[in-house]
Structure 1
Amino acid sequence: MTPVQLSLSYGQAFVAPERRRHRSSMSVRFPEPPLLAAKGACALISDSTLRNNLAKQAGDLSVKGFLADYFSTPDHWDVKTSATRVLRALNAWCFSQNRQMSDGSYVSSLSAMVYRGREAHLFHMGDTLVFRLRGAEFEQLSRDHVTDLGGYRYPSRAMGMDSGLEIDYASMPLKQGDLFLFTTQAVQGTLMPSDYVRLIREDASDLDAACERLAVAATGRAQERGYGGDQFCFQLVRIDALPEASEDRPGRVYGDLPIPPELSSGDRLDGLEVLSVLSRTAQSRVYHVRDLHSGREMVMKAPSPELSSRNAYLEHFLLQQWVVERVKSPFVVRIMEPSRPRRFLYYLMAYVKGETLAEWARRHPQACLMQRLDIANQLGKAVQALHHRDLLHQRIHPDNVLIDAHGQVVLADFSACHLRDVDGHRRSREVIRQLGLTEHSAPEYALEDDVGRRSDQYSLASTIYWLLTGDLPYSLAPNRLRSHTDLEQLAYRSARTLNPEVPVALDDALRRALDPQRALRFRRMSEFRRALRPPRIPGQDSAEGSTQRPRESTRFWQGVAGILLLLLVLSWLMR
């Protein structure tokens, strides 16, 4: 007998006068059973302010962004961890974009409810509304976070409003027949609780029709009271069936899989044949593999068989695939999906046919400055792509940079990559401590100070300095610092003393990006990247133009002098 699974139905209605901009967004996603068991189903509603020129975009972004990232989180994360981390990452992106905008913003209220097993999980910020109808009991589950300014009501604690995000969280048991209503602040002052119950119960079998009745009634009530027909949107979700209590678990998830045994060339695992062993460290194993079904060559990364289940790196390993999947850039290695279900704990990456930056530098000692700056610019784009997704790489050095036969740079090895959030710094430090620091690590890692994007900027600049000069910028490697007083020993060695071809402006940029004090480095990666652009070499045409311009200028002034001389002679003759 097939076990009963979670089942739900939903309906929607949206009404907005043409003269007003649409500013709300809502959605329901009910995934296939394997994902449904691990992550559940989602229902969301988002709303921005009427006076926001990007209101519609803000509402759509928060809903689509949450759905895209939530269902991609690692299976071993629980609902609260997954949703909270996704919302904080989304908020950080929206807030960073808002700081660069003068006309409109990505600020929006958002209510998201996740139905998994026999429980519902509500995540709420702003002033959107969520109600539950159970029998004849109609209860508001969300809290209104509203601020009155100049007679207008604005949402507070909303998505994208501040760098930190306060999220209201609540979990509750589900019952078959529960109805959840999602709507926006515009409905306040129109319908009473009894109206909701009556209009929904009038014919609860058709949820779209029930939402239409609510929209028509709210619009009519608003017009009767003289404040016009604002936009109204309603979304109803009904719980049709619940799994048995014994079935309320995600099953064998990614985090429960065993660590692969030690593998060698010729071994096979999950339809993958090991072609070679790329690296063995105390924390991980990296193999070059071929899919026996498709013939694709890929890179398999797995934890070291010696790791215990409580090891901080093992916990971090479970996040690496999700972290890298968030980045879409040709300069960052791609995650590959296996052609069959995994029976062991590992993830697959695209295989880059090339060599590390360290190997490239040894084979091309005579490479010109332009070639080296091209590599530096590509590497800067890779790091900037990570930062756009609020990620820190934390281990940028020549052995983690790959260059293919066409000169394409690909940043790899995300063993220390960290999603910047409130509770992750302690675990990140534990992982860095296990992996160890490199000579390109920023000083704050050795001194256990706060780290951030400028820490990656230091590692990037140190790697570029090495690429241009073959040496390090300081006689004392920052990873050997023991106290803050040791910072005084870090005296920058000009790159021009080691490579006279380095322009003065580039040397000054490297000096700033490599400042031992994190606060004194470039504020944004884009500023540093602008300094990495190759110096402009004038072409033949521009050279000719530069010689012609002085000639033209000389002829002009000669003509002026001749005219003045003629006028002077005429004035003498007329006396």
Structure 2
Amino acid sequence: MSISELQLNYSSVCEAGIKAANEDAIAVNLPDDSHLLTYKGACFTLADGVSTAEAGRQASERAVSRFCHEYSQTPDSWSVAHSATQLLATINNELYELSHQFVHNQKGYLTTFTALIIKSQTAHFFHIGDSRLYHWRDGVLLQLSLDHTTVLSEQRQFLGRALGMDARVELHQGSLSVRPGDKFLLCSDGISDFVSADELQRQLSAATDLGVTAQQLKQQALAQGSDDNISLILLEIMGLPEQSLDDLNQHLTRLPFPPALSPGMKLDGYRVLSELFASSRSHLYLVEDESTVTESTAVDGSAIDGSAIKGTARQLVLKCPSLNYDDDALYIDRFIREEWIGLRIESDYVVRVVRQCRPRTFLYYLLEYLPGQTLEQWFERQPKPLKPALAIKLVKQIAEGLKAFHRMGAIHQDLKPGNIIYQHDGSLKIVDFGSVYVAGLAEIASPLQHEAALGTAAYSDPHYLLGHNSGVQGDIYALATIAYELFSGGHLPYGEAVEECRTAADYDKLRYRSSHQFNPVIPTWFDRALQKGVSLDLSQRYQSINQLLTDLQQPNPEFLHEEVKQQHKTNPLLFWQLLSGFWFITLLLVVWLFLLRR
């Protein structure tokens, strides 16, 4: 299989120069582990501690060492930008707090910082301060970083931004596609203030040995009178991870599809008990893991004769791909991603994918077994509308499951009652990872072009179905739609017409239907929250799940004045009493206080 990995060559210098102490710091993390190299990339960092802050050396060393070490530990489902900015915000906050512990003796933990991360076929950079990052290609040198300095005169200028300077860090960041032969230079101002851009371009163009070039740049800076610390990292892209569609297909299909299974058959130590679900795309079987069979024990703890009472085995769900797609690389890739995603989502409200500890002879994966039925099936059998307290309990559980996806940089994109399991104890779990979007995976170059949408028209965000990834707001739309359905007694906010829409013009014709017309108990403020949750205009839709939940559980003042204007027969107070009981208790208290004063 001819799949190449990212190949880099680099050299570095970090010296005090003519100064007594070195307040610069560099750190590099070029993983040997192919998984980390693929999903996180290679990390190069340089920091120049602010000498006037007195703790500049400690700040620069802390920043680069922590960033390089902890970046690789961030979830590999996170995008590079999300991982880096979250980590830098944490480092900045720590330096800022350390600086304020020494406010009386002016000891500040301040440093410039520049990071370059090469992942797949893209370079990502993050910068603050006056260190510099250059990109060289085909003889042309371009400065990627911005100098965060304020110039007062030709002789006087000061640093405008640095890590640890403010409670909130303002980074300059960006990305660009890379090619073999590209070179990057990270350097402190001990280099950039004394070696001209033209000379840097000449040196990088002539460079054949990066180690020699790095030393030449150092010597040239000293010869030009550099009176600062001298630090630089010089790297070259030697090879990029590339693969043909044939290579990828061979990699994905190294395991054959399992045949159709029936009760009693065994697969890698899993005995099939029954078929749970079958469609043209996949099959789910209830199986027991024979390696986990345990002997029953008596009350006193002694073993009972196994011939009298059969042991028990752990029951799991085995998901198999459909033989209809055994030559479809796109389908196989998506199936494999389902397991990858599921192993990284941890929540009491999301089905757990089971990590396998023994070799597989076929392509499949395992999930925990959830006794119960889909929320769709359960809801069909319930008296409608649901009691508000029950409906909001279900919505909150679904919301918690979605938050687990979002924390991992993933968007479900196909949330619907059919993809939620209602268990016998009343708890819910989100299932199915087939349409999940993961930012970290999207950054990895692939010859496969996934289809824009696999969602369900009645619940998926129209923006997503039209090919635009609306991110968290797309899942909010689905959650609000489900909430509408539960509270309205089974109706949809835009009616059945939403399932016939195919173009943006079709969606423009849709009109929101007030949930009040299906359930008169629903007050206007609650209906307005639902309407905002399913708004087709992203600028009007909620930005976070917590915002939606807040407005569904307590009246938003912006919506209350609209309710006063409504002259429906509804009793909003009754709804709120059913939802929380709070206003009813408050009303009794007010009456009691009123009687006491008479």
**Equivalent residue letter for 1:281:** S
1:419 to 438, 461, 480: 438
CA-CA distance at 1:293 after TM superposition: 1.9
CA distance in 2, matches of 1:250, 1:444: 30
2:517 paired residue number: 497
Contact 2:339–2:365 (8 Å) recurs in 1: yes
- Is residue 448 of structure 2 the alignment partner of residue 439 of structure 1? no
The alpha-carbon distance between structure 1 residues 59 and 267, as it changes in their structure 2 partners (threshold 3 A), is farther
Shift of 1:46: 3.0
Deviation at 1:437, TM superposition (A): 3.1
**Cα displacement string for residues 277-330 of structure 1 (whole angstroms, at most 9, x for unaligned residues):** 222222222233333223443333332111143453333223223333443333
Q: 1:290 to 1:188 in 2, by over 3 A?
A: farther
Which whole-Å CA distance do the structure 2 matches of 1:150 and 1:403 have between them?
A: 60
Aligned residue identity for 2:461 = A
1:391 is matched with which residue: 403, 410, 413? 410
Amino acid of the residue matched to residue 44 of structure 2? I
Within-5 A mapping of 1:288-299: 288-294=286-292, 295-299=313-317
Instruction: Identify which of 110, 135, 144 aligns with 2:115.
Output: 110
In structure 1, the partner of 2:267 is 269
Structure 2: distance between partners of 1:470 and 1:36: 46
Task: Determine if contact 2:79/2:409 at 8 Å carries over to the other structure.
Answer: no
Aligned to 1:348: 366
Structure 2 equivalent of residue 402 of structure 1: 421
* CA distance in structure 2 between the aligned counterparts of 1:447 and 1:441, rounded to whole angstroms: 10
Residue 80 of structure 2 corresponds to residue 87 of structure 1: yes
Question: Structure 1 CA distance, aligned partners of 2:444 and 2:121?
Answer: 20
- Shift of the 436–404 alpha-carbon distance from structure 1 to 2, 3 Å rule, reads closer
- Aligned match of 1:524: 544
- 2:114 alignment partner AA: S
Distance 1:22 1:516 in 2: 51
- Please tell me the residue identity of whatever aligns with 1:538: F
The answer to whether the 8 A contact 1:356-1:398 is kept is: yes
1:514 matches 2:514: no
| Paired position in structure 1 for 2:284 | 286
Does structure 2 retain, via aligned residues, the 8 Å contact 1:416–1:431?
no
Q: For 2:280, what is the secondary structure of its paired residue?
A: coil
Q: In structure 2, what is the equivalent of residue 306 of structure 1?
A: 324
Structure 1 residue 510 displacement after superposition: 0.7
1:170 offset after TM fit, Å? 5.0
Alignment correspondent of 2:105: none
Partner of 1:476: 496
> Which letter does structure 1 place at the counterpart of 2:431?
A
Is the partner of 1:293 in helix, strand or coil? Answer: strand
Aligned partners of 2:45 and 2:64 also within 8 Å: yes
* CA distance in 2: counterparts of 1:482 and 1:399, whole angstroms: 22
Aligned-residue offset at 1:61: 7.2
Is contact 2:532-2:540 (8 Å) kept? yes
TM-score relative to the length of structure 2: 0.61
Do 1:95 and 1:162's aligned partners in 2 also have CA atoms closer than 8 Å?
no
Identity %: 21
* Contact 2:134–2:184 (8 Å) recurs in 1: yes
Aligned position for 1:260: 258
Question: What whole-Å deviation, never above 9, does each CA across 1:22-74 have from its counterpart, x for those lacking one?
Answer: 9876546444xxx679969976333467689998897577545652468x68x
Q: Is the 8 A contact 2:264 2:272 kept in 1?
A: yes
The verdict on how the C-alpha distance between 1:63 and 1:326 changes in structure 2, with shifts beyond 3 A counting, is farther
- Aligned CA distance change for structure 1 residues 533 and 15 (closer, same or farther; 3 Å): farther
> What is the CA distance between 1:337 and its match in structure 2?
0.9
Secondary structure of the 1:532 match is helix
Confirm whether residue 377 of structure 1 aligns to residue 375 of structure 2.
no
Q: Cα deviation per residue 1:188-243 (whole Å; 9 max; x = unaligned)?
A: 4799999xxxxx99xxxxxxxxxxxx9xx99xx9xx9665x79x79999xxxxxxx
Separation (CA, whole Å) in 2 of partners of 1:110 and 1:506: 47
Task: Give the C-alpha shift of residue 487 in structure 1.
Answer: 3.5
Q: How does 1:91-490 map to 2 (within 5 A)?
A: 109-112=114-117, 123=123, 125-126=125-126, 145-148=144-147, 149-151=149-151, 161=171, 165-167=174-176, 169=178, 171=180, 185=188, 188=191, 227=228, 256-294=254-292, 295-365=313-383, 367-420=386-439, 421=442, 430=451, 432=453, 435=454, 437-445=456-464, 447-448=466-467, 451-468=470-487, 469-487=489-507, 489-490=509-510
Residues 45 and 68 in structure 2, CA contact (< 8 A), matched pair in contact too: yes
Q: Contact 2:15–2:22 (CA<8 Å) still a contact in 1? A: no
CA-CA distance at 1:356 after TM superposition? 1.5
Match of 1:67 in 2: 72
Question: How far, CA to CA, are the matches of 2:394 and 2:380 in structure 1?
Answer: 15
CA distance in 2, matches of 1:154, 1:317: 49
SS in 1 for 2:582: coil
Aligned mates of 2:465, 2:234 — CA distance in 1: 52
**Can you list the C-alpha shifts for 1:388-431, whole angstroms capped at 9, x where unaligned?**
43322121110101233333322111111123557999978726
What letter corresponds to residue 590 of structure 2 in structure 1?
A: S
> Which stretch shows the higher mean deviation, 365-374 or 22-31?
22-31
TM-score between the two structures when normalised by the length of structure 1: 0.63
CA contact (8 A) 1:111 1:128 kept: no
CA distance in 1, matches of 2:346, 2:23: 32
Q: Distance in 2 between matches of 1:450 and 1:147?
A: 30
Q: Distance in 1 between matches of 2:276 and 2:24?
A: 53
Alpha carbons 2:46, 2:186 under 8 Å: kept:
no
Asked if 2 retains the 8 angstrom alpha-carbon contact of 1:379 and 1:410, the reply is yes
1:547 and 2:567 are equivalent in the alignment: no
The answer to whether the Cα contact below 8 Å between 2:45 and 2:113 also exists between their aligned partners in 1 is yes
Say whether the 8 Å CA contact 2:194–2:226 is kept in structure 1: no
Aligned-residue offset at 1:463: 1.3
**SS of structure 2 residue aligned to 1:256:** coil
Structure 2: runs of 5 or more not aligned: 1-9, 98-109, 136-140, 152-157, 163-168, 204-210, 236-246, 293-312, 555-578
444-453 vs 495-504, which moves further: 444-453
Q: Matched residue of 2:146: which SS?
A: strand
Counterpart check, 1:537 vs 2:581: yes
Partners in 1 of 2:25 and 2:549 — Cα distance?
37
How much does 1:370 deviate?
0.8
CA contact (8 A) 2:353 2:366 kept: yes
Question: 1:245 — aligned with what?
Answer: none
**Helix, strand or coil: the match of 1:361?**
helix
Shift of 1:445: 4.9
C-alpha distance in structure 2 between counterparts of 1:473 and 1:378, whole Å: 21
Q: CA deviation at 1:459?
A: 1.7
Count matched residues: 479
CA distance in 1, matches of 2:449, 2:46: 35
Instruction: Kindly indicate whether the alpha-carbon contact (under 8 Å) linking 1:30 and 1:42 is maintained by their aligned counterparts in 2.
Output: no
Runs of 5+ unmatched residues, structure 1:
1-9, 74-84, 115-119, 132-141, 174-179, 195-199, 202-213, 237-248, 556-575
Q: Please, which moves more after superposition, 440-449 or 492-501?
A: 440-449
